[in-house]
Amino acid sequence: MTQIETDLKNLEATARTAIAASNNLEEVEGLRVQYLGKKGQLSQILREMGKLGGDDKPRIGALANQVKENLQALLEGQKETLANAEIKAQLSRETIDVTLPGVGRAAGRVHPLNSTVDRIIDIFVGLGYTIATGPQIETDYYNFEALNIPPDHPARDMQDTFFLPDGRLLRTHTSPVQIRYMESHEPPIRIVAPGRVYRRDTVDATHSAVFHQVEILAIDKNITFTDLKGTIKEFLKQMFGEDLAVKFRASYFPFTEPSAEVDVQWRGKWLEVMGCGMVDPNVLKAVGYDPNVYTGFAAGFGVERFAMVLHEIDDIRRCYSNDLRFLKQF
């Protein structure tokens, strides 16, 4: 036996052991290059064939081809084995047991204040009103002067205001939305204006420094107090029920004349729910409307008050507490 034959057999034995011990496809590819590559061990052994005699070359050449084929088969077999094992392991990792219970996530709920606003808006949109909004940071003009509340007017004491360093303020009601809308629109107008408002109020079970209002405004020719009463009654009955008793009491607001407060009989007691009145002629003049041609009415109310009545909430602070025990009830 020649030295080349011995080297070929040793190479095959060593390669078989190494291939069988390989653990991944990268190792298998490395062994292929090591033993069968252009610069691999088999190529290095075959370089010595030039030294063989004429009778030995065919026999050694056949042996070398057999070794090469054996190793190629071993490499392909190991690659297939490792690939199948990898697929099996991946399937095992990614298998979903459909008999296991699902991981649930609680569904969200609409906050009682949001649901109350949505309900109010739906009613007024159904009555032909358009939604209008405005900035929460306002000027003195839009929050007071244009609403017939000049600087020395005592009505300013009714609304303890948060003033900002630049002379502006946090709006104390949503009435500035009415002024801004009228400035940019010609009558007829019917709007509903929801929004957040701010007043320096002592926080307790029924008061908050930050709360929400909804105001309505209707401007047209020949609008009367009867139209106001009919609209308010229809809204309240849709909100609280057909059998609701409604009462209008004379009151005062600087931006309406005449003015009234509205009470409803709820669970055997009279409850004040909103203020309203005919738009004061001075307000119409401030936006460029002729009060001899146009009249209108306005009304405003607190969303929290309505939500507390509808859902029997005993403390307004619960609406802002983010207590899940409270919120899950809605």
Would you place residue 36 in the very low, low, confident or very high pLDDT band (cuts 50, 70, 90)?
Answer: confident
In this structure, what token pair is assigned to residue 59?
């026999």
More confident of the two residues 276 and 156: 276
pLDDT of residue 195: 94
Question: For 34-38, 50-54, 260-264, which range has the lowest pLDDT when averaged over its residues?
Answer: 50-54
Q: In this structure, are residues 198 and 174 in contact, taking their beta carbons and an 8 Å threshold?
A: no
Look up residue 195 and give its two tokens: 């929004």
pLDDT confidence tier of residue 54, bands split at 50, 70 and 90: low
H or E element in which residue 7 lies: helix 3-21
* Residue 17 pLDDT class (50, 70, 90 cuts): confident
pLDDT tens readout for residues 89-130: 888 888 877 788 878 887 778 888 899 999 999 999 999 999
Answer whether CATH 3.30.930.10 is correct for domain 114-327.
yes
162-to-24, 36, 159, 198 alpha-carbon distances in Å: 72, 86, 9, 7
Beta strand 246-253 with 130-131: parallel, antiparallel or unpaired? unpaired
pLDDT tens digits, one per residue of 164-177: 999 899 999 999 99
Which residue type does 309 have? V
* Mean pLDDT of all residues in 217-225: 96
The amino acid that residue 218 corresponds to is: A
- In this structure, the number of other CB atoms found within 10 A of the CB of residue 31 comes to 21
Residue found by looking up tokens 């919120």 in the block: 327
Greater pLDDT, 192 or 12: 192
Alpha carbon separation from 152 to 122, 148, 236, 287 (Å, rounded): 39, 11, 36, 21
Instruction: Give me the percent of the chain exceeding a pLDDT of 90.
Output: 42
Please compute the mean of the pLDDT values over residues 307-330 and round it to a whole number. Answer: 82
Say how far apart CA 166 and CA 49 lie, in whole Å: 98
Exposed/middle/buried for 238, CB within 10 Å: 0-12, 13-18, 19+? Answer: middle
Q: What confidence tier does 1 reach under pLDDT thresholds 50, 70, 90? A: low
List all residues 6 or more positions away from 206 whose beta carbon is below 8 Å from its beta carbon.
Answer: 308, 316
What is the DSSP secondary structure assignment for residue 232, as one 8-state letter? H
Residue 53 predicted with pLDDT over 70 = no
- Nearest Cα residue to 130 out of 189, 87, 50, 170: 189
State the pLDDT at residue 50: 63
CB 280 within 8 A of CB 299: no
Does 204 score more than 90 pLDDT? Answer: no
pLDDT value of residue 198: 92
Token reading at 318: 């619960």
